[in-house]
Every structure is written in C-alpha cells, then in structure tokens.
Structure 1
Amino acid sequence: MKNRSVVSVSVMYSVRGKCNWLLAIGLLLFTPAAATDDLPNVIIMLMDDMGWGDLGWNGEPSRETPNIDQLASEGLTVTSMYTAAPLCSPSRASLLTGRLPIRNGFYSNNTAGRNVYNFLSPHYPPLYITELSPPYPSPEPLPLHTRYYEDFSINRVRGLSNMTQLFTQEAIGFIEREAGRGPFFLLWAPDSTHAPTYASDAFRGTSRRGRYGDAVRELDAGVGAIIEALRHAGVDNNTLVVFTSDNGAALVSKQEGGSNGPFLCGKQTTYEGGMRVPGVFWWPGVIPAGSVSQQVWTQMDLFSTVAQLAGVPLPQGRQIDGLPLANSLIHPHLEIFRPVFLYRGNRLMAVRQGSYKMHLWTWSTPTYELAKGIDYCPGADVHNVTTSTPTDHSDRPVLFNIAVDPGERYPISSHSAEYSSQVPVLLQAVFDHRAKLKRGEPQLNWCDRAVMHWAPPGCEALGKCLKPPASNPTLCNWPH
C-alpha cells in the first residue's frame, strides 16, 4: 500500500435511516501510483436492494436494463452469487473485508438470530462527505467536506433527486483522470433503488414499473455511461467490471421494491430471495462473451479475487472466507465444490453446497411485523419453511435441491435416499465451519446517539458543527 494514492468520497451516515455508513459509500477509489501495465483496473458496481429478477437478462418482463443486459451478453453471468448477509450493512462490511459478519464483528449477540444495521433517528446528524488524499492509510481524522442534505437533495414525496447523476459523473471523471496513470479500483454504489426510491427529472415517469423502475432505468444508464467512459479512455480491454447488489429486493416495499424472480422471500431473510443476487462479470478479450458459470460465489470472493488479480497477498493472521476465483472467470466451466454459510445476525441459518441447500433454522417475518402489514415473503407460504417465529430444524434439517427447485417450494423428504446421502455431507461442512470459527467481538450490541459524527474534524472551518447529546449507552434492540 505504500505507493498508492487514494481518493475517497465516502457518505458516512445515511439520514435515510436504513443502514450504516457501509451502505452509503458512494465511491471508494484507489489508484496505484506506479504499477505494471498487465494489472487490470477493477470496477465493482454494487446496487442497493436490487433483486435478481430486476434485470432483463434474468427475465424481467419490461426489459428495461439494456446496458446491464449488454454487460451480461458480452461477459459472464454467475447464476449463484450470494451476499454474506440478507441486508445492507453487514453485507457490505463482508464484501470489503472478505469475511463473514460473525468474524468481522458486524453483528450483535443481544438476541440470537437478529439482523443488525446502524439505525438512525430524525435526531441524528446528517451524513457528511470527506475526501482523503495521499498518503494512505492516514492516521489522522478525515476533514469535513460538506453535510449531505445541504448539497444533495432527495424529495421523498416526488421521488426526485439527481444523486445517481452525480455518482455517475464522479465515476466518469475519475476514470478520465486515472485511466492513463496505471491500474485503478472503483466501488460505485448508488442507492436509488433503496426505499424511498428516486430518479432525476430525465428518468421520472419513464418506466413501466413505476418509481422503482425509474430508478433502475437511471442506474442502467449510469452503467452504460461508465462503460462508454472506459472505451473512450481506451482501457475497456484491461478493466474487470462486476455488477451485483448488496442483498435481495426488499419485498416489504411492495410496488416500490424490486423482484427476486423465482426465489423465495426477500431482504432480511436467508431464503434465496434474501441473499441470492445478480452477478455479472465483464472483461472484454479475457472473459468469454455470453458465458455462464455455475460456480457458487459469495461477494466475499470479490475481496480475494481482486487481490489475486492485483498480485497482492491476502492479510495474514485472520480467516478469510472469500476464495480467489479469477480462474473461474476465464474458464467458466470450472466449478469448485465449496460450502456457503448463510447467517441471520449471529445465527447460522443455512448452508449451500453444490446443488443442495440445508436449513438448520427458518424464520421469515416476525409475527409482530406481520400484524403491522410488514411481510418479507408476500404471497409465499411454504409449510415448515416460511415460519413466522425462529424455528430450529437442527435435529431434522430442511433440505432443497436448489438447481431443481430454486424457489424452495418442495422440501426433499427426510425419508428419501437423496436426503440420507446429502444431509450428512452438509452437516459435516457445518461441523468443520463451527470447529474453526473464531467469532469477532460484536460491534452492534450498544447504541448511543452521542457517538455519531455531530462535530467531525473540520466542521469549525465550515461553521457546521452540531452539539452532541449527552451520552446514554443502551443495549440495542434488534427486532428482526
């Protein structure tokens, strides 16, 4: 890291109130100042609450994602891309660290099996943007640049904002500046498909899918503009682009949410609809066009794979859950038989290996949220699977063949030969995982409004310091 200059534009807290700063990172950019020509550029396009079924390539009826679909037709589609958690904050923490939330500490053990995020109230300070210049990493606090809502307006009533345009323009400008200076990394993570959804004036009312569709169409246009910028800069053949989402579509948003296609349930759950997301890789001249991979990926693999492509060794002294899978991009027929562990908070809920998925626990929507009209699995009722209370199946796990039954509608009979042959294999994977698991210290047990960034460094010069409240730490209550 010594010779790398870093430009970071980070949205540190989301006033929209759903996730912590990891959700709201708009752009995370670094560029090696001196590097060889054979190292590729890497761009990860991380959408927010966009479902597998939102892409025309995956069968969305309106076919309103031509640029993303073109990425898939010119690159590789991963049929099984999993997030590390069924909601934004822990999922993004794992993508950036290559480690499960249970290892990196982005969980709580106040109550077993609860999703966690950095919740906000109307009394919390607006998020702010900072810029970091060389050297990196910096031991000094980052100076305040601006407060979010003063410069980036979102009209929730009309679903109107130019935020996606600003993120796209910043990405294009970065590519134009850095294309001739050596390999670069760009994490492009706009959030317009997270409720309340929004789009700019140019895209409002243009989709058959309503406000959510307007947001998707604008994101698709942003993807096309970024790809065109790569081509114009002459670096398209030396750039790996990854398109994915931080979790499945939020079905609780109803008409303002996305689609998980054939998969069961949505965000907040460990069913396929909550954690199986789009996975598209594009690298002209390297990845075979129009190829499909059956390799089971997790977004933690992106950490290890990017390090592999950059020739950087993985960190020592810690367990990395992501695998280096660069060869699977170049040779799509390769398939590593590996388990993927699906957690809800601190509880291991399920494991996927090969074509099979085994549920040790099930839990869909809490009964108290169903009473309020909140439903993570609208229209879905699978006996003994979409349970409204946490249900322990450890003595007789629920087994699905995900290749045959991607919607998790038809559990394999526990009296069948198929069940008898597959469950012991999956239980052994769970046993091995637990035997080696060293849990990180939980970071989301305590809540205290006073620790938020009311007066970050540099606020005095801008006259934008806010007075923090008195400290009053309490144990966080995570309801789902």
Structure 2
Amino acid sequence: MSLKYVNVKFKVSRKQMGWGDLGVFGEPNKETPYLDQMAAEGMLFPDFYSANPLCSPSRAALLTGRLPIRNGFYTTNGHARNAYTPQNIVGGIPDEEILLPELLQKAGYKSKLVGKWHLGHQAKYLPLKHGFDEWFGAPNCHFGPYDNVHTPNIPVYRNEEMAGRYYQDFKIEKNGESNLTQLYTQEAVEFITRMHNKSKPFFLYWAVDATHEPLYASKPFLGTSNRGLYGDVVRELDSAVGKILASLRSLKIDNNTLVFFSSDNGGATYAKQHGGSNGPFLCGKETTFEGGMREPTIAWWPGHIKKGQVSHQVGSLMDLYTTFVDFAEVAMPTDRVIDGISLRASLLNNTNVQRPLFYYRGNQIMAVRKGSYKAHLWTWTNSIEEFKKGTNFCPGQDIAGVTTHNQTDHTSKPLLFHIGRDPGEKYPISPNTPEYKKEMPLLMKEIQNHMVLLVPATPQLNMCDEGVMNWAPAGCNKGQNKCYKGPPSKPYNCTWPH
C-alpha cells in the first residue's frame, strides 16, 4: 500500500527527561503507565541518541537531519563548548537549511509546533518562516521569573504574534504550579482533530518544556509522585501522551499515524532531584558520555509496528527526518549531506543496519560509536572551577581518566569501551589487548571517512547582543501593552562555560 499520506507525529519530552525516567526502562516507581503502554503496543529503542548533549543543537539536528556542525548550531568561541539559543543570541536556523516541515509541505502536509522552538527568536528565524503552518509556544527556555524591565519574560506565540509572556500571562508559580502542559495537550488534540476533519495529513511536533527547570505541573499532579516535583512533571507528561494517543484512537486514525516519543538530550544530573535519571549510563546533559545523549525512545503505529518489540538499531533523532520523508514519499535533498538514515525497515521488519554514530561537543568530534564499541577522542565533564562551585555533570560517577575536568586529548590513543557489557563506560579496554587492536582501527576509519565529507557551516552561536532580546515581539502592542524598550544593539562574543 502507499504510505504517502500517513500522518506523522513526533513528540519530544523537554530536555532533562532521561533514559531511566520511564517504567519500561526500569524506573522503580512505575509512574509512566501511558508511555509504558505505548512501548508495549509499539517498539522500544534502547539504543537511540540525540545529535548533541544540549537542547538547541539537538533540535536543529532533528529538524534538518544534519549534525549541528553542518547546520551551524555550534560555536567556535572556545574549543568543544556547548552553546544554545538564550534570549541574547544573535543567530538562528539558517535559511539555506531545509527543515522537515518544508519537505512535508510538498506532499500536502500541514505542520504544527506546540511548545519550545529554540532555533532563534528574531523574526526571520521563527517557525512559520521555516515550514510550520501553525505554532503555539515559546522561542526560548522559560528561565525566570524575571524583572521584565531589565530582562523581558519569554513570549508565548500564537502563530506569528505573541499571545502573552511566561510568568505574566502564562503563569508558573513559585511552588511549580502551572497549567501550561494542559494547554499544550489541548493544542495537540485540537490540531489532530481539525486536520482529521479536513482530511489533511499532518505533522505535529509536540515539544513541551515542563521537565526543564524551573519545573512546573498543573495542580492535579502536584504532590502526586514519589519522586517529588520532577516526578509530578513526568507524570503529567505521561498523562498527556495518553490523551494524545487516545484522541488518535477515538478518531480512528491510529493505524494511519506514526508516533515517536523521545527527548532532546539526557537527564540533567547536575539538577539533582530536579533532573532526570539516565539509568545505568555515565553522566548526563552537557556531556558526550552515554548519559548525555542516549534517549528514551518509543515508536508507535498500530497495524504496522508489531506489538512489544525491542529494536537494537542504533538510532538518532536525525533519523526521524529521513524516516518521515521516506514514508511521505518526498524526494530527499541531494545537494547536502544528510546524517539521518531511514528507519522504515527497523519499524516494519525489526531489521538493523550498521552505522557509525558521532558525538560532538561544539566544534569538536568527541567520540564515535559503531556496533557495541565506542571510542572517546576527547573527554571532559565541566571545568574544575565550575565543579568547585557545585556544578557537577557526573555526580557520584568519578572515573579516573574518563570524567576529566580539563579537556583531555586522547586522539593518539583513544579510550575504547564495549558499551554492551559496560554501558556505564567504567572500564576502558586496554590498548594492549587484541580486542583494542582489532576494533580501534575500524572506528578510526569511520572518523576519517566522516571528516573527508565534513564542511562546517558558519557558526550561528558565536554572537550575543542584549539589543536583540524579546523586548518587543510581534503582537506585543495588542491588549495590555507588553512591549518594552531595550538597549541599543551592541554585539559581542558569547561566553560558553560548558
């Protein structure tokens, strides 16, 4: 049968939702019944990764199918530094990048983003300029609350114009109470229903930010988890997934809708009780150890994906780009390198293909995985100065020579791990062993092949400017005046501590 008009819906839990946060992955409180049921009815991907250990570059990779070093979502202001898109960032997603919804438009799809964008907040970078037909959500993280005279609160957009601001109009109380996840769930269900009634194929990118600090959940979920406020947030996200899948069933389009659930980076271990669990994996968000980039991922498609399957395909969020384009029967761009692969065979037949996976931090390739082997060319967690001030990306996981607080170059003798038998990356394989001598040249060959085709894009995350912050977004003058006068433009080089 033709799959050209299959609906494609991808949901991302906000960053800081770790691999070990789901009951199906062993979280002992078993507080994610809907996601666990989704896995029982679909396919679990325990070997699935983000393309970066930080939110903005990961999202750029998801929507372009390309590593951040290729799409410009990195910085050269310091070696191997993580960078993202705070309010004062000047750059954003380049026009020359072809985003997933732009390709799906060619097959008649309508696309909506619900939640956080994080690919640039100046008007030229916003979602409706890059293929999305609708948007309800925010361009940046909801850090705050802020004094909106000196630092404007983040706007929440309804399509091309702001509908209000976080904390002022879209409340997040000091106790963590907010109905934002409920609003985002309603937006998703309404869009699905409306597209079904219009017989339109759709792409929904549901990118809730509730698991990012400061945490929030609606009143019915506050105080209901054994894991504290973070658990309350996860329980509400789980419930929201249940409602969205139920809407597909009630409309009888569940067997025509491919759904992915994942996260944009690993759990934020530095946030302690306010961060996620990365299960058996080393460290967390911001690092290129397994805890920073391996994601809890589930695919669901009744009638097409057989129930209760586990795929050990090494996957990436970039693969969703290629997979959705494949099922929509749209031609893939041929004028650029696409790093994602189609997961069609994995989803329909549970077959695996060998492929290398590259771990980047800023402008530096840090590690490579192929099969069960992973080689680290560089290691570091965060600076010793930050560590001494209390910021720890690897709490309770100090491994000599591995979790280094200085950028350590191992390229002359990379660290090798078998992450099947050592998922925590605790026991480097000795360079003197036959195993090392056999596997390391194969991994180094993958890196050499990768570098031959690598043409780094112009870095988008180098320049900052308080003058470009969310002072006066489109629509700020409607109703209660939410426009503010900002400082004059004064660009400067961003400082990235991680």
Check whether TM > 0.5. yes
Contact 1:237/1:285 (CA < 8 Å) preserved in 2?
yes
1:64 is aligned with what amino acid?
E
Shift of 1:38: 5.4
Please point out which of 260, 272, 279 is paired with 2:278: 260
**Alignment map for 1:368-447 (pairs within 5 Å):** 368-447=385-464
**SS of the residue aligned with 1:249?**
coil
1:6-50 Cα offsets, whole Å, 9 max, x none, are xxxxxxxxxxxxxxxxxxxxxxxxxxxxxx885211111101110
1:420-462 Cα offsets, whole Å, 9 max, x none, are 1110011010011111101000011111011223223333344
1:42 is aligned with what amino acid?
V
Please point out which of 125, 128, 134 is paired with 2:155: 128
Establish whether residue 283 from structure 1 lines up as the match of residue 301 from structure 2.
Answer: yes
2:487 is aligned with what amino acid?
P
Establish whether residue 52 from structure 1 lines up as the match of residue 13 from structure 2.
Answer: no
Distance 2:172 2:275 in 1: 18
Establish whether residue 117 from structure 1 lines up as the match of residue 135 from structure 2.
Answer: no
Establish whether residue 221 from structure 1 lines up as the match of residue 188 from structure 2.
Answer: no
Distance 2:344 2:226 in 1: 38
Counterparts in 2 of 1:453 and 1:315: CA distance versus 1, 3 Å: farther
Contact 1:56/1:69 (CA < 8 Å) preserved in 2?
yes
Shift of 1:149: 3.3
Please point out which of 337, 352, 365 is paired with 1:348: 365
What is the identity percentage for the equivalent residue pairs of Structure 1 and Structure 2?
Answer: 53
Contact 1:37/1:182 (CA < 8 Å) preserved in 2?
no
Shift of 1:476: 0.8
Establish whether residue 192 from structure 1 lines up as the match of residue 158 from structure 2.
Answer: no
Q: Which runs of 5+ in 2 are unaligned?
A: 89-145
Shift of 1:66: 0.3
1:383 is aligned with what amino acid?
A
Distance 2:483 2:456 in 1: 37
Counterparts in 2 of 1:95 and 1:248: CA distance versus 1, 3 Å: same
Establish whether residue 177 from structure 1 lines up as the match of residue 194 from structure 2.
Answer: yes
1:401-431 Cα offsets, whole Å, 9 max, x none, are 1111111111111001110111001101001
2:321 is aligned with what amino acid?
F
2:353 is aligned with what amino acid?
I
Equivalent residue, structure 2, for 1:27: none
- Hey, which bits of structure 1, 4+ residues long, moved more than 4 A? none
Counterparts in 2 of 1:351 and 1:447: CA distance versus 1, 3 Å: same
Equivalent residue, structure 1, for 2:229: 211
Contact 1:362/1:385 (CA < 8 Å) preserved in 2?
yes
Equivalent residue, structure 1, for 2:474: 457
Equivalent residue, structure 1, for 2:49: 82
2:372 is aligned with what amino acid?
S
1:354-400 Cα offsets, whole Å, 9 max, x none, are 11100000001210111111100000111211111110000000000
Distance 1:127 1:383 in 2: 41
Shift of 1:182: 2.5
Distance 1:383 1:458 in 2: 53
Equivalent residue, structure 1, for 2:353: 336
Count of aligned pairs: 434
Distance 2:475 2:158 in 1: 12
Please point out which of 65, 83, 86 is paired with 1:98: 65
Contact 2:87/2:470 (CA < 8 Å) preserved in 1?
no
Distance 2:473 2:398 in 1: 48
Counterparts in 2 of 1:160 and 1:130: CA distance versus 1, 3 Å: closer
Contact 1:37/1:183 (CA < 8 Å) preserved in 2?
no
Distance 1:459 1:159 in 2: 26
**SS of the residue aligned with 2:456?**
coil
TM-score by length of 1: 0.88
2:263 is aligned with what amino acid?
S
Counterparts in 2 of 1:38 and 1:110: CA distance versus 1, 3 Å: closer
Contact 2:23/2:33 (CA < 8 Å) preserved in 1?
yes
Distance 1:75 1:37 in 2: 18
**SS of the residue aligned with 1:316?**
coil
Contact 1:240/1:282 (CA < 8 Å) preserved in 2?
yes
What is the aligned-residue RMSD (CA, Å)?
1.4
